Chain A
Amino acid sequence: MLSLGWNVHGQNNPVTRDTTRRLAEVTVNAAAKKRIENDLKMTVSVDEYLASASNISFIKRGAYAWEPLLNNMSSERSTITIDGMHVFGACTDKMDPITSYVESNNLAAIDIKSGQEGNLHGATVAGSIDLKRRNTAFGLQKKIGGAYQTGFEFNNKQTFNLGNLYYSSDKFVADGSIAFRKAGNYYDGNDDEVRHSQYNKFNASLGLAYKTSPLSAVRVDAIFDRAKDVGFPALPMDLSLSRAIITSAAYKQLFEEGLVKVWDTKVYFNAVEHYMDDTTRPENLVHMDMPGWSTTYGLLSKINLQKDRYSSEIQVNAYDNLSIAEMRMYPQDRSKQTMFAYSWPWVTTRFASVAMNNALDLSDISRLVFGGSLGLNYNYSKYVEFNWIFHPGSPQKKNRFLPSLHASYQLNIGQFDFSLGTGFGHRAPSVSEAYGYYIYNSFDRYDYIGNPDLKNEVSYEANASAGFKTGKLSIGAKANYFFIQDYIIGRILSLGSPMNYQSVGVKGYTSLDHATLFNLALNAQYQILPGLDWKAVLTYARGQDNMGGNLPFIRPLSYQTSLHYRYKMIGVQTSMNGDFSQVNFSPEYGEDQTASYKIWNVSADYTFTIGKLNAVFQVGAENLFNEYYSTYADWGNIPRMGRNIFTSLKINF
């Protein structure tokens, strides 16, 4: 049901004759539209949905806004985009990953690519996560349609109401969605309340498309997202308000003849503001204000080429981002002078790249996929004097070239398929890694200082997969190995002293000589009886630094298995997932050993009709046995949610 990542076949063949004639959609997306739901729940948050992909794990600082890790690498190492648009969070503590600014009912699919195959939208090491928005096709038979979802989750008293609506005519399409979610504190497996874990989210989106000719269309899109009163139990602060406005205007032209099939161009603008708040934490010694802003302008333009056995996509990206984060501390005597510093001293990032990905069918059973990109990354720190305190004389401006190459060979023999690939790519340090200033990390309790002179991180990767498929059974294995030169990580500095009162010292971002990462995923699917399906995934990862020490945030051996049964209008599913004990943890980076855990979930749904409306009702329980646990990536070892009974109703019209 979920086939995220590695689906190169589908992605490289985006143009079919049908779409050329009819221009069914503004965005041609050959990957079948997966509904945003996971094995267990039909109404999920974006985070819950992503969690069901085998190469995604999460750092969790609470119940909201989880930071997605792709191939066990932190979010600086992947490019996370919304329809190819770059959006950058405005929080120095990564409390607002991009995935927190969308909602499941305005997305159509999430496209995950591993390693350098994900270089289309920008330089990367881990790969790319592209959140694809919902685009209704022109000229649908049903002119007006939509869906409404509502539900209640008992553990944290979450209520949600999600609605989306479309209008489709031959010339004009409108898509709209609106979503409200409100949750209180959740309770862990010991039935203890986890304080400061509430959230409140509002998300709305609007897209309008107009067909300017039989083969061309324009589209404007906007997403507005607002979260307020969001608790972060693992952090010493909460979020009082974050807002994002994400806008774009696109023009698309299709061609019936010739090599070029599609030309798609988009300009975009987005602004994110993020205000942390510690007035909810009276126990804090210092009252602080930590507002952050991130503004991005960008452009992307893509053409798809196809001739005989060869297809290709060429994309140009450009963006300009300004990231600002402030830190103001108030002395206990409020009448006294406040203390002020920038944690992001007005850092501009300009990036431009050209990327090309090609697929060539060598024969009926084999295919070669290859590509490359070249990016230019420019940084400018307006108040560079902040950076000079730890790195005297470092340049205010910095240019970097970011090349990337990848190739893979795919072979399909009867019921077996194999692939073998390799890649090479650079990435530039993130704003925090290069220009961050006393950014408090509550995981290892250090203040982090960026280094503008960091070298590019250079990744060399190899990947392989093998699969076997029959009508009822499919099994597969995927593995990848990354050798990352000049791996960027925080190391204790012998100079300076902490600024945030909770911290124990100062760490500076430095480059390890190298680090290595290995990921393995095994999956199996079997149809036991008609209507009864079994699925299982086992993942293993290992990350080491150049001294053989463990890297932090590497997922221990973990598994997910589920059983689905469908009979007429009734569906029943049960799933179990867990991690084994974390053997290879890293005390040096603030980790302690996390014990194993096992979670059991069940749900049942019933599909019915009310008049002309099609509806599904679902009830289920997550963590059925109310296990008390926290995972290797839970910030500050905060316990996860205990038993959660959820109900939801979805009405399609």
Chain B
Amino acid sequence: MRDLFIKKVVFYSAIISFLLIACTKEKTDYEAERGNTVAENTEFKEVTSLVSSGYSIRIEALGGVLYRGYNDIRVIINKQQNNEPVAVSSVKLLPVQTNVQGMKIVCPHQSEMDYTLDGRYFSGYSVFTDESSAAVNWSLEIDFTVGGQTFTATQHVTVKPQVNKNRNLTTFTGKDGEQYLIALIAPWKPTVSENKLVAGIYKLDAAQLSYTTVNGYTLQLDPRMPEPSMGNHSSPNNKDLVQQADGLYHGVVNYTMTGNWTLNFILVNQNGRVIAGTEVPKDFTPGVEGRKSELYIDILF
């Protein structure tokens, strides 16, 4: 009898507690929040394939789509008849843009592709400077060597507009009169944290009509939130981008919250001369849209 009574009390108390503790507002799903603007595109899929000299060549990219900006590219070469793997000793990639005047320009890329043993593919990258249009055509030229013999295959590809602002690029003419290109490579999906920022910096060789990697420069970084209400907000502990062994430029960007950010840059050459970009105001100015450097890339996450 006594036990029953206690049980009852506990039971009703539990029910009341449960009704009262259900929260009014849902907590933010932070994992989902971070993925809001960046589509999950982590799987390599076939972009196109072709057959050449008895070999089938398969070109892959993330999500099976090539975008304007930086793209990781994989090439898999098999025998045509049985799709068996074949001993390929080297693969060279050459992405070529043909414009309406018939002029051919080679965009920034990794020419000699790396072989990855466990995946049996060759990997490299290409930075497509424009999306495909009536005026712009893209093709990939692939030179591969099997048993000392080199074959060449060319395939027309379509380059789509970039959907991820974290893979944006910018082209500009430097104070030295050269034509430059900066392409963001990482992070693909930034977080509110310290992010490793990777970019490629290239220069157009006007004689060769080809982009080459710029060596030994420094890309000074000042990230800010441009939204007027954020008053030119910035973050601490960022690091300028300097070139590392892979030829790319590595630095650190801290994003203090999600939203729109502008990466303000100043490009400085080996001799400390400013090639492009301007200092931005550092003051906190609520209500005023942040002024951007002459050299900048907007990102969003």
Residues of A that sit less than 8 Å from B by CB: 208, 210, 212, 218, 220, 222, 224, 241, 243, 245, 247, 249, 269, 271, 273, 275, 285-286, 291, 293, 324, 326-329, 331-332, 336-342, 383, 385-386, 388-390, 392, 438, 493, 495-499, 501-505
Contacts and interface: CB of A to CB of B under 8 A. Distances in A.
Interface in B261-301: 282, 284, 286-287, 300
A371 B227 CA distance: 56
B25 A273 contact: yes
B232 A340 contact: no
Contacts of A222: 13, 16-17
B24 A497 contact: no
Given A329-B259, A341-B192, A501-B229, 20 more contacts: A210-B2, A222-B16, A271-B23, A331-B259, A332-B229, A337-B300, A338-B259, A340-B259, A341-B258, A342-B192, A385-B192, A389-B192, A496-B256, A497-B282, A498-B284, A499-B257, A501-B231, A501-B287, A502-B286, A505-B284
Given A220-B9, A341-B256, A390-B237, A497 B284 contact: yes
Contacts of B237: 389-390, 392, 495
B235 A340 contact: no
A339 B225 contact: yes
Given A212-B2, A438-B256, A324 B27 contact: yes
B37 A337 contact: yes
B256 A499 contact: yes
A497 B232 contact: yes
A294 B198 CA distance: 39
A388 B36 CA distance: 23
A438 B237 CA distance: 16
Tier of interface size on chain B: 35 or more
A220 B11 CA distance: 11
A488 B122 CA distance: 56
B234 to A, nearest CB: 5
Contacts of A385: 191-194
Contacts of B287: 285, 501
A328 B28 CA distance: 10
B228 interface: yes
Contacts of B282: 497
A271 B21 contact: yes
B209 interface: no
Interface in B222-246: 225, 227-237
Residue with the greatest number of chain A CB neighbours at <10 A, chosen from B16, B236, B258: B236
Contact of A247 (B17, B37, B259): B17
B129 interface: no
A647 to B, nearest CB: 33
A341 B134 CA distance: 43
A392 B194 contact: yes
Given A340-B257, A386-B193, A243 B234 contact: no
A339 B235 CA distance: 14
Nearest to A291: B25
Nearest to B20: A245
Given A241-B24, A341-B192, A332 B10 contact: no
30 contacts: A208-B13, A210-B9, A220-B9, A220-B10, A220-B13, A222-B13, A243-B20, A273-B23, A275-B25, A285-B228, A285-B287, A293-B27, A324-B27, A326-B28, A329-B230, A329-B259, A337-B258, A339-B225, A339-B230, A341-B192, A341-B257, A385-B193, A388-B193, A389-B256, A390-B236, A438-B256, A498-B231, A499-B233, A501-B286, A503-B284
Contacts of B228: 285, 332
B162 to A, nearest CB: 17
A511 B21 CA distance: 37
Contacts of B229: 285-286, 329, 331-332, 501
A172 to B, nearest CB: 8
A400 B236 CA distance: 28
A609 B191 CA distance: 69
B254 interface: yes
A302 to B, nearest CB: 22
A141 B265 CA distance: 82
Contact of B227 (A243, A331, A388, A495): A331
Contacts of A212: 2, 6
Nearest to B10: A220
8 closest residue pairs by CB, A with B? A385-B193, A339-B259, A495-B236, A341-B257, A501-B286, A286-B229, A496-B236, A245-B20
